[in-house]
Structure 1
Amino acid sequence: MRRRQGLLGVTDADFCCGLRSPGDSTRPVNRSATLTDLTQNNNQNNNHYTPHQHLRTHLRGTLTVNVSVLLLSLASPDESSLKYEVEFLLQQQWYDPRLRYSNRSRYEFLNAIHHHNDIWLPDTYFIMHGDFKDPLIPVHFALRIYRNGTVNYLMRRHLILSCQGRLNIFPFDDPQCSFAIESISYEQTAITYVWKNDEATLRKSPSLTTLNAYLIRNQTITCPIKASWRGK
């Protein structure tokens, strides 16, 4: 694995081995378990890890992706606008037995931020009336792999939603903003999304910021329409 110098003198190897803060780089670190070593060992054991292969060729049954959403900010140009900017953290967690490893270091997980393109990730897609806003920072996600093969993928997303109001009582109505998530490539028999810890709704951050907008209530429902458009 190449060692490139990072911010504040922290190397890629430090991050890959579960570094929690830049100050930890000065402590003794056991770098015997990196993601590069993990994939190489899997290949030697004939447990080939090919991230872009269809997941169903490696796993039986339905893969469960646990989802959690933390609302960070809610804003609107003015109180009469039907456009809202929503910023949130999307956490996805699943189990991939191909990524199990024996870690002799004192860290609980591998930080795989530099191996984002080498790991299979759910192709989660947002169905909405609106657009994504480009992130201000190039690295807007976190990716952790635990010893038992659990993968924790955290993304910071910024949406601009076009919401639906009631014209007969405008501007005294309460606009409704809706969006849905689904997998682009996989049917429900292959991947299913569930709320992590039975939260059943998005959570508001303790430091939630608002501008010309406020959240009255939020709810989550199962999509009532079932259809298949993916070719075989």
Structure 2
Amino acid sequence: MLTKVLLILLGFPIILPSRIEETHVESEMGPCAYHDDVYGPKPQDPKKKLPSEEIKPTAIDTHRDLGKLPAATQILDSILNNSDYKLRPGIGEKPTVVTVELSVNTLGPISIPDMEYSIDITLYQTWYDERLRYNGSFESFVLNGNMMSQLWIPDTFFRNSKEIRVYSVTVHSQVVRIHRDGKVLYTDRMTIDAGCSFHMLKFPMDSHSCPLSFSSSSYPENEIMYKWKDFKLEINENNSWKLLQFDFTGVSNETKIISTMAGDFMVITLFFNVSRRFGFNAVQNYVPSSMTTIMSWISFWIKKESAPARTSLGITSVLTITTLGSCTQKNFPRESYMTALDVYIAICFLFCLCALVEFAVLNFLIHNHTRSRASPRLRYPPTRARDLTPTRTHAKQQQQEDIFMYDFEESGEESDEEDGPSCPAQQSLNPSLTQRRRSCCRICKYLCVVRSCDGSFWQQGRLFIHIYRLDNYSQVIFPVTFIFFNVLYWVICFNL
């Protein structure tokens, strides 16, 4: 007995340091030492429960959740098997009433050359199908585009559409919601390129109504009837509309019956009203054409002798107006009528052309008058009557019939003043004066080519125009006429 007690006392110090050493090493490594050396999940605290132990559904909850899915499947299978998608609801009894609503997501852009516009809409169609009624705790079922082939859907199509793009990312945008009472809501989002006839007679002060008409493609009026739900049309103007040069002014609708060989179809048409913004065309067309016309009048203040300067300015103005008129027609449909902008550019072209013609007329008349004053004049050689006998006088006269002398007169203001009053205006005031030479009034009896002519414009029933003062007349007539044209033009355009 004593021996056993001694052995126990001697072995206790050996076991105790080893226990303490192991505990010390574990405390130095810490809990992170495991993650530094080994990749794997963190060991769980034995005092804490696992998630599978903390949350453990009872058998009653699992049975309740699994019981709803078979019930929904059973209801859906029953209503789909009882309905025939090939036949419309109420066939042979009454027409199917389809209620239509639209939500406009984006309107535009509007293409004038192609006469079409683009619109992004979400189409809502609602109708009742008694074959889809069911009893159950579910208020409605939502079916995606994969189930469309098992239901009857109205064959609605857009009559003036050129291209329709349906959204299919990530799945088809077609959605059907079936209610307990048999009400069916069909939703589809699409982008439509629809045709629109643009009447450009008042361009650029024009406004248009772009239609969007739809109807059934195979069911006449006595089988399918469309109606609006209190004309509810949702316009999402907060979205980025692409009207560019146009402003949206409102929407209106129209319902009519179209008779065809297949029957009478009900057609509903929406009109999206837009008006063109004037600012762009004012900067790009009206201001350049007006400034070019005014610039052509600078030639009236250039001397008549500077023919190259005046000619080049006139030709440049005419070519600029022609280029502006051609550029405006690039984005236009090929129409046979003239627009309001074409009329304005045509008048500006006429003003520039008249400014060029004015210098041509002035130069021609002055040159013609100068040449006529410098033409050779026939005169007999001077002789003294007292130095000649009758015989010699007769011989001398016979010789003068064959001999001529040319005397050139210089044209100018001095010669005109020396000749005295030679204009028609002064001759009408002074009939007793010497008759003017034929060379001075060879052009026209209503024109005065003498620089010193003091006659007024209107005298004794005749309108006398001073050719040398033609530029002075143009400096007043052209601006006044152009201002009068602008006032008349804008009053007519804004009142039409």
Q: TM-score, normalised by structure 2?
A: 0.36
**Higher strand fraction (1 or 2):** 1
Say which of 196, 203, 206 aligns to 1:173: 206
Measure, in 1, the Cα distance between the counterparts of 2:114 and 2:79: 55
Measure, in 2, the Cα distance between the counterparts of 1:191 and 1:35: 31
Match of 1:21?
none
Q: CA RMSD in A?
A: 2.8
Shift in Å at residue 116 of structure 1? 1.2
Measure, in 1, the Cα distance between the counterparts of 2:116 and 2:84: 41
Equivalent residues of 2:95, 2:222 under 8 A apart: yes
Match of 1:217?
250
Question: 1:214/1:74 Cα in 2 relative to 1: closer, same or farther (>3 Å)?
Answer: farther
**Higher helix fraction (1 or 2):** 2
Output aligned runs, 1:1-232, within 5 Å. Answer: 28=65, 30-34=68-72, 37-40=75-78, 43=81, 48-57=82-91, 60-76=93-109, 82-105=115-138, 108-113=139-144, 114-135=146-167, 137=169, 138-196=171-229, 198-199=230-231, 202-205=233-236, 207-211=238-242, 212=244, 213-223=246-256, 225-230=257-262
Which SS does the other structure have where 1:167 is aligned? coil
Code of the aligned partner of 2:69: R
Equivalent residues of 1:71, 1:208 under 8 A apart: no
Equivalent residues of 1:32, 1:104 under 8 A apart: no
Shift in Å at residue 143 of structure 1? 0.8
Shift in Å at residue 68 of structure 1? 0.3
Shift in Å at residue 134 of structure 1? 4.3
Match of 1:22?
none
Question: 1:129/1:117 Cα in 2 relative to 1: closer, same or farther (>3 Å)?
Answer: closer
Which SS does the other structure have where 1:74 is aligned? strand
Measure, in 1, the Cα distance between the counterparts of 2:103 and 2:227: 15
Question: 1:120/1:159 Cα in 2 relative to 1: closer, same or farther (>3 Å)?
Answer: same
Code of the aligned partner of 1:203: E
Q: Between Structure 1 and Structure 2, how many residues are aligned?
A: 195
Flag structure 2 segments of 5+ consecutive residues without an equivalent: 1-63, 264-496
Code of the aligned partner of 1:229: M
Measure, in 2, the Cα distance between the counterparts of 1:184 and 1:35: 34
Equivalent residues of 1:80, 1:171 under 8 A apart: no
Measure, in 2, the Cα distance between the counterparts of 1:159 and 1:36: 39
Which stretch of structure 1 is more off in the superposition, 74-83 or 205-214?
74-83
Code of the aligned partner of 1:123: D
Equivalent residues of 1:94, 1:150 under 8 A apart: yes
Flag structure 1 segments of 5+ consecutive residues without an equivalent: 1-26
Measure, in 2, the Cα distance between the counterparts of 1:93 and 1:145: 10
Shift in Å at residue 41 of structure 1? 5.9
Which stretch of structure 1 is more off in the superposition, 160-169 or 128-137?
128-137
Question: 1:94/1:133 Cα in 2 relative to 1: closer, same or farther (>3 Å)?
Answer: same
Shift in Å at residue 72 of structure 1? 0.6
Shift in Å at residue 99 of structure 1? 0.2
Q: TM-score, normalised by structure 1?
A: 0.73
Equivalent residues of 2:88, 2:96 under 8 A apart: no
Question: 1:61/1:78 Cα in 2 relative to 1: closer, same or farther (>3 Å)?
Answer: closer
Percentage of pairs with the same residue: 24
Equivalent residues of 2:105, 2:235 under 8 A apart: yes
Equivalent residues of 2:79, 2:134 under 8 A apart: no
